[in-house]
Amino acid sequence: MTRIADLLAAGPTYSFEFFPPKSDRELKVLSQTLLELQPLGPSFVSVTYRGGAASRQRTQDLVTGMLHTSTLVPMAHLVCVAHTRLELAEILVSLRKAGVENVLALGGDPTAADDGSPRELAYAVQLVELARAIGGFSIGVAAHPAGHPASPDLRSDRDRLAEKLALADFAITQFFFEPDEYLGLVADLAERGVRKPVLPGIMPVTSLRSVPRMAAMGAAVPAWMESRLVEADATGGAEAVRRCGIELATELCRAVLAAGAPGLHFYTLNQSGATREIYLALGLAPKAIAAGAG
């Protein structure tokens, strides 16, 4: 079973996200991370896409490499920006020929490769339609608990998400920090008659330096959480902040799972430590690994 829609239908999924390396040093780090995380037995893994021909090839190479040299079930990200409809169709056909069955269809942010000209596919829903027309894919889309930054308001954001999910199989959220953000998103979709699986995206805050970066990425750390991290720093320094961030992320995971989330999706930033610790704390790791960690 390698289609994510089928995996979700069978029960909760637990997945990891990576980005393709741009250098030999990044490749070495990612290779070590994959070595450390593969034994945890994730349901699937996703590989991001930065846009442009070089990133496209790195994403495809990493996804197909995982497919043919590991036990991992990979999902390729694909974005509309900087590509014509024909190019996107060619990429999708190439992925299917390589045996890839899972894609995450994204609108994408402007890149250096984007000359500002109008896109042939302006919205992610159009990419979902194209992937459906080509056939053979289990298709995911992105969801933003606080609303996409480009959306004029939360209601219209939810309307667009409902349109995407009417065609796609599942959604994965941007990271967030409070259970009500995720639960509100799911409730808003249910009001629109959409009950497709929505996987909560989890990214632990393990340093104070990352707090402003989170806001720039579209999910600000709430004041109460920042206070907890600052207090940890005052009492135990950087390592205490790291432990506090992992504990808070673990609490968030427990809360959304208890509320019925269909699994968890971890943004790893190509590092294994925090994800491994959360995974073990939640009791998700295979027994042999959990026993070794203990």
Confidence of residue 82 (pLDDT cuts 50, 70, 90): confident
Please say whether the beta carbons of 64 and 100 come within 8 A. yes
- Which H, E and C letters describe the chain, residue by residue? CCCHHHHHHHCCEEEEEECCCCCHHHHHHHHHHHHHHHHHCCCEEEECCCCCHHHHHHHHHHHHHHHHHCCCCEEEEEECCCCCHHHHHHHHHHHHHCCCCEEEEECCCCCCCCCCCCCCCCCHHHHHHHHHHHCCCEEEEEECCCCCCCCCCHHHHHHHHHHHHHHCCEEEEEECCCHHHHHHHHHHHHHCCCCCCEEEEECCCCCCCHHHHHHHCCCCCCHHHHHHHHHHHHHHHHHHHHHHHHHHHHHHHHHHHHCCCCEEEEECCCCCHHHHHHHHHCCCCCHHHHHHHC
Please say whether the beta carbons of 99 and 2 come within 8 A. no
Please say whether the beta carbons of 170 and 8 come within 8 A. yes
Mean pLDDT on 180-200:
97
Give the catalytic positions in this structure.
Answer: 17
- Closest C-alpha to 43, from 145, 172, 129: 172
Angstrom distance (rounded) from CA 152 to CA 156: 7
pTM of the entire predicted model: 0.92
6-15, 82-91, 156-165, 170-179, range with the lowest pLDDT: 82-91
Question: Please, what CATH class does the domain formed by 4-288 belong to?
Answer: alpha beta
Mean pLDDT on 248-266:
98
Average per-residue pLDDT in the chain? 89
pLDDT of 116 higher than 80: no
212 burial type by CB count under 10 A (0-12 exposed, 13-18 middle, 19+ buried):
exposed
Angstrom distance (rounded) from CA 188 to CA 283: 30
Cα Rg for the chain, rounded, in angstroms? 19
More confident residue, 36 or 286: 36
More confident residue, 29 or 156: 156
Q: What is the pLDDT of residue 139?
A: 98
pLDDT of 289 higher than 70: no
